[in-house]
Structure 1
Amino acid sequence: MTPRQTPWPGDPLDAVGALLSEGGPRTDGPSADDEPLGRRLDVAVGAVPAPDVVFALSRDGHRTLRCGGTAPPPPVPRSRLRYELGSASKTFTGLLLAQLTRSGPFSGTEPAAAFLDPGRPTGRDPITLAHLITHTSGLPGLPPGFFSRALPAWHTNPYARCPGERVVDAFLAHRQRRRPGTRWRYSNFGVAVLGHALTAATGVPWEDLLARHVLSPLRLDGIALHPDGPDTDATGHRADGTAPTPPLDAGGFQAAGAVRGTPDDLLTFVEAHLRPSRTPLPDALRTVCRPVLRRGLGHRHVHTMGWFRHPTEHGPLYFHCGATLGQQAFLGFCPGTGTALAAVCTRRFRARDTFVPTAYSLLAEA
């Protein structure tokens, strides 16, 4: 399907613009427990048969949080642990790129290969930073050879067997079959390449780049890219809900899936998109909320820089899901109702996934 794209932020014809600063990006009002909403969250938690489940919802700045699960409560309260986001990490990468384009270093139209292999001819239709974040680069979901290398560690840490050098080498060896920007294809590979391109362009390690431009301004102290141990990080479980999995090692895919965070900070991150003018990143937050691509029959599928966008009776609903070997996450917000949701659980559902439908329905109906 051919996507229709709007001008990229930073282009002369840019129609895509920006959404957070004074007083910090926590809640607007006091932390209050809405009793009816609390009951709905209790039902949502109970509908997810995972060892650990947390639903944190904010409505008009008032937060309600519920924890539960099929396992006994861990020594550290579930609400204080960090959870793996998997692909929902891409929302952080999108915001980082938006901030870098708004603050000046990039326009988004730069060829990624120009940063990863300086001096190399980029060709007539190069893959740009914009193509990578919007999944229109034409790259496959994963690099060639990924599965054969990952197979020995398939049940432990498959991504760890594909370090950054291999990701970059695979990208530079890629031969395009279609002109970038003409087709949407979800790609962990592409977003991982974007992270390496930004690191090469700035000379700043990915972790420091994200901390400097996104985590520190939004005061997200509970967000990290690496595990710290059982007193800090939640333990994931396989599809059976009992067998534990090791902490994720994202290898060369940090930009595509390495973020982990506490429910409190994840909710703070999502809330920021509702009230960008009250944060230090107003323009970047507005940028990632505006459509840059429409696809499908009648262009019903709408995408922004990092978020999927669906229509509801209350206006657009933005969301992104993610999964690792043993955990799942859902982040979303609905500006029309002033509602934001961060939901996490420590089980990787393979079939009859109750987690994502439950989280999505809760946000859409709240």
Structure 2
Amino acid sequence: MTSTTDRPRSVLDAAGDPSRALDEAVRAMDAPDAVLAYSRDGVRSVRHGGTAPPPAEPREALRYETGSASKPYTGLLLERLARDGAVDPGTPAAALLAPGRPVGRDPVTLTHLITHTSGLPPLPADLYPGAVRHWLTNPYAHYTADRVIAAFLRARPRHRPGTRWRYSNFGVAVLGQALVAATGTPWAELVTGGVLAPLGLTGTALAPAGPGIDATGHTADGTKPTPPLLIGGFEAAGAVRATPGDLLSFLDAHLRPAGPLREALLGVRRPLLRRGHGHAHVHTLTWFRHETDRGPLYFHAGATSGQQTFLGFVPDTATALAAACTRRCRLRDTFVTTAYGLLAG
């Protein structure tokens, strides 16, 4: 008889090798390119494949757009800045973006923005007219940081901040601009110095570099290439692009916190709120958290116009999984469910 903690995970075969399960998952993702990077107790396995011919550079060496899976990097940055005394998460964002302006009785704080409880809509209303023609390619490219700030300062939250959960790329974009204002440091420099460099993430960037370095996305049918994502003023919500190895290193850092980010890495595991009635999600400062029979599973997924990413880790089993594919999300897509299933067992 075996216990829950010592029985083999379903991703492993009888010999403890995850390769077969990872290869099957790559095929199930049905994308031009798919890469899975898995670790257990610090031992890594990387598998890749796809429906398209292999690119000139190895799939596992390319950088993939993470979309909303960028948000855990932003949340970790906020936690680090708070622990360093550089910002207070309870600060009203308007106080940083428009000093001297009254913030009102129920202001939107930095914590509200990262936990999707700000009351802001998913996107600012004035983004849509310029984005409609580019919705399936680069809807954010034209929307600058100044426009993000202006839209926030005139916005009226639909609910009192802190009372309801509603996913908002707009809110996290505002958070990024507020952190830039609070520190006087450009976003790329802030993230690189605060998160990427301390974790040794040299295969991670915040802007496209071009063919041979970045993976090429595709439409939902996996046939037509899509252009690299240009994120405008929404950097904090979706700018990260990284190699699968770097994505896994980011997750492994959460499994084995150490160095200057140790306390911040532990802090972002702490549950803060429940998503809402009928949902299993508990929200930390930056991760979704599900309870499983193997302990809490922390995860976040993301998608761009031509790529998808999944990040997840389970501290109790010392396992982590980073998955990426080069196909836009489609109806009844299997990418996230396949990746989540591998990690959850």
Alignment TM class, shorter chain as reference: over 0.9
Contact 1:272-1:279 within 8 A present in 2 as well: no
Task: Give 1:256's aligned amino acid.
Answer: A
Unaligned runs of 5+ in 1: 1-33
Q: Secondary structure at the match of 1:67?
A: strand
* TM superposition shift of 1:145: 1.8
Structure 1 residue identity aligned to 2:287? W
Give the alignment partner of residue 344 of structure 1, picking from 324, 328, 338.
324
CA contact (8 A) 2:87 2:182 kept: no
Where 1:332 maps in the other structure, the secondary structure is strand
- The 5-angstrom pairing of residues 125-204 of structure 1 reads 125-204=106-185
Q: Is the 8 A contact 2:165 2:276 kept in 1?
A: no
Residues 259-282 of structure 1 show CA distances to partners (whole Å, capped at 9, x for unaligned) of 000001100001111111x33311
Displacement of 1:82 after TM fit? 0.2
Residue identity opposite 1:89 in structure 2: S
1:257 paired residue number = 238
Question: Is the contact between residue 218 and residue 280 of structure 1 (CA under 8 Å) also seen in structure 2?
Answer: no
Aligned to 1:56, the other structure's residue is in SS state strand
Counterparts of residues 218-257 of structure 1 (less than 5 Å): 218-257=199-238
CA distance in 2, matches of 1:337, 1:123: 46
8 Å contact from structure 2 (residues 112, 162) kept in 1:
yes
1:292 corresponds in structure 2 to 272
Query: Paired residue for 1:330?
Result: 310
Partner of 2:285: 305
Query: Which consecutive residues of structure 2, in runs of 5 or more, have no partner in the other structure?
Result: 1-14
Structure-2 separation of matches of 1:297 and 1:144: 27
8 Å Cα contact 2:302/2:308 also seen in 1: yes
Where 2:29 maps in the other structure, the secondary structure is coil
Alignment of 1:72-111 (within 5 A): 72-111=53-92
Aligned to 1:357: 337
Distance 2:310 2:279 in 1: 24
Q: Distance in 2 between matches of 1:57 and 1:92?
A: 19
Q: TM-score, normalised by structure 2?
A: 0.94
User: Aligned pair in 2 of structure 1 residues 70, 165: CA closer, same or farther (>3 Å)?
Assistant: same
The reply to whether residue 209 of structure 1 matches residue 190 of structure 2 is yes
* Distance in 2, Cα, partners of 1:298 & 1:53: 32
Distance in 1 between residues matched to 2:172 and 2:222, nearest whole Å: 30
Match of 1:280 among 250, 253, 260: 260
Distance 1:317 1:62 in 2: 19
The CA distance in 2 between the partners of 1:66 and 1:279, in whole Å, is: 29
* Helix, strand or coil at the partner of 2:220: coil
Q: Distance in 1 between matches of 2:160 and 2:137?
A: 36
Question: What's the CA shift for 1:300?
Answer: 3.9
Q: Name the CA distance, whole Å, in 2 between partners of 1:169 and 1:213.
A: 26
Counterpart for residue 123 of structure 1: 104
Amino acid at match of 1:87: S
Paired position in structure 1 for 2:8: none
Is the contact made by 1:59 and 1:338 (CA closer than 8 Å) also made in structure 2? yes
2:10 maps to which residue? none
TM-aligned CA deviation for residue 188 of structure 1: 0.1
Q: CA RMSD in A?
A: 1.2
Cα distance between partner residues in 2 of 1:156 and 1:103: 38
Instruction: Give yes or no for contact 2:70–2:236 (8 Å, CA) kept in 1.
Output: yes
Aligned partner (choices 63, 74, 79) of residue 44 of structure 2 = 63
Runs of 4+ in 1 over 4 A off after TM superposition: none
Distance in 2 (CA, whole Å) between partners of 1:297 and 1:114 is: 32
Q: Give the structure, 1 or 2, with the largest relative contact order (CA under 8 Å, sep 6 or more).
A: 1
Distance 1:208 1:293, change over 3 A: same
Query: Given the alignment, which residue of 7, 18, 21 partners 1:40?
Result: 21
TM-score by length of 1: 0.88
The CA deviation string for residues 272-318 of structure 1, in whole angstroms up to 9 with x for no partner, is 11111x33311100111110112433874300011100111011000
